[in-house]
Amino acid sequence: MAIRKKSTKNPPVLSHEFILQNHADIVSCVAMVFLVGLMFEITTKAAVIFVTLQYNVTIPATDRATETLSFYYYGIKDLATVFFYMLVAIIIHAIIQEYVLDKINRRMHFSKTKHSKFNESGQLSAFYLFSCIWGTSILVSENFISDPSILWKSYPLTLMTFQMKFFYISQLAYWFHAFPELYFQKTKKEDIPRQLVYIGLYLFHIGGAYLLNLNHLGLVLLVLHYFVEFLFHISRLFYFSDEKYQKGFSLWAVLFVLGRLLTLILSVLTVGFGLARAENQKLDFSTGNFNVLPVRIAVLASICITQAFMMWKFINFQLRRWREHSYSQPQIVKKKSTVTKGRSSRKEKENGVNGTVTSNGADSPRNRKEKSS
């Protein structure tokens, strides 16, 4: 992300600079089209597909349940809902950037590199914090803490609560919105491949958990991963304000490794043991059952490869920091030695000058008179 330079001249309409400066307003107008469509009977059916969650199933009240329950399953119409909330994510991104991050940047006077990293960490830390709180509330409401066996029990869980489905729709919408943000934020060409891999991994795993009905496992792993990532980005924000702040990175390094271990343990426990022992192990698209050996191997392989890739990047990052720290220490020692040498040379010069003054004072006319007397 590069720094936005505000120019006094108004760029031509629909030009490159015009779109970059007013992309939030343009996207807001597009989103308003769908909202206005809800007001008219002719366009209501089309607008509802974009704005509200689809594939609703209502279970009537029984003797055990006194209230009617509403559940949802996924379908092709969810792509329209993801598109609408992708527009909402772009608008929220622009609001946070303009009214929070830009004001802080003006006060702190960051360099171009720190400016882009500060914006990235500011946006992601807000998203990770919100997602962690939301995901934790869903897990608590569905009694995951008291009964962790819901990760594999009564699979396939094709029916989702409103909060569960809306969470996954929002997650997909947010990471899809990151693609146009690469253009809106003027991302450097050398940073685009890294960002594409980063975004692609999120979409691959979130979409896989959503389509394979591994909703609870995906939710637990997302909350765990988002908490660790939130700690990293909030530590980087504090580091930009005060470069002496390093404690947050040390805590993040420990939790990052623990997070990878917990991810592997939960994945193997759920897919490798829980689903492998289930009675129904037949591939059935109509019921949403994907509990077969090839799918389980593919799920575990994708998770293990991703965790290994993240650990490899983490080790390289720590080695680079260690090299930079070890390289900077000799320079500090050299600077200190040159400073001490300079001080000692100055003292020697001062002592030499004092010696010449005292020696010259011994041959002064006053001393000669004293000697002759």
| 59 part of a folded domain | no
Instruction: Output the pLDDT for position 344.
Output: 54
| 81 part of a folded domain | no
| C-beta contacts of 19-23 below 8 A and 24+ residues apart | 20/183, 20/184, 20/186, 23/90, 23/94, 23/180, 23/184
Instruction: Output the pLDDT for position 18.
Output: 87
What is the DSSP secondary-structure string of 275-333? TTT-S----BTTTTB--SHHHHHHHHHHHHHHHHHHHHHHHHHHHHHHHHHHHHHHHHH
Rounded to whole angstroms, how far apart are CA atoms 263 and 261? 5
- Going by C-alpha positions, the residue among 92, 64, 74, 56 that lies closest to residue 207 is 74
| 297 part of a folded domain | yes
pLDDT 10s digits, 245-302 = 778 888 999 999 999 999 999 999 999 999 998 888 889 888 889 999 999 999 999 9
Rounded to whole angstroms, how far apart are CA atoms 6 and 288? 52
| 16 part of a folded domain | no
Rounded to whole angstroms, how far apart are CA atoms 159 and 288? 10
Rounded to whole angstroms, how far apart are CA atoms 158 and 314? 36
Instruction: Output the pLDDT for position 357.
Output: 41
Question: Residue 229: phi, psi to the nearest 5?
Answer: -70, -35
Number of domains in the chain: 1
| 110 part of a folded domain | no
pLDDT 10s digits, 48-71 = 999 999 999 988 866 565 677 889
* Mean pLDDT confidence for 137-153: 88
For the chain, helix (H) and strand (E) counts, in that order, are: 11, 2
pLDDT 10s digits, 17-39 = 888 889 999 999 999 999 999 99
pLDDT 10s digits, 288-324 = 899 999 999 999 999 999 999 999 999 998 888 788 7
pLDDT at 362 over 50: no
pLDDT at 180 over 50: yes
What is the DSSP secondary-structure string of 145-177? TT-GGGGTTT-----B-HHHHHHHHHHHHHHHH
pLDDT at 368 over 60: no
Rounded to whole angstroms, how far apart are CA atoms 264 and 271? 10
The DSSP letter of residue 60 is P
Confirm whether pTM is higher than 0.75: yes
| 217 part of a folded domain | yes
Compute the C-alpha angle 96/245/311, nearest 5°. Answer: 80
pLDDT at 42 over 80: yes
What is the DSSP secondary-structure string of 203-257? HHHHHHHHHTT-HHHHHHHHHHHHHHHHHHHHHHHHHHH-TT--HHHHHHHHHHH
Question: Residue 56: phi, psi to the nearest 5?
Answer: -90, 140
Question: Residue 59: phi, psi to the nearest 5?
Answer: -100, 120
Residue 70 pairs in a beta bridge with 58
| Structure tokens, 271 | 């897919």
| 262 part of a folded domain | yes
What H or E segment, with its residue span, contains residue 49?
helix 41-51
- Going by C-alpha positions, the residue among 97, 115, 92 that lies closest to residue 105 is 115
Rounded to whole angstroms, how far apart are CA atoms 232 and 234? 6
| Structure tokens, 205 | 């795993």
Which domain covers residue 228, as residue numbers? 115-325
Residue 16 vs residues 73, 109, 268, 271, 372: alpha-carbon distances, Å: 41, 27, 49, 48, 98
| 197 part of a folded domain | yes
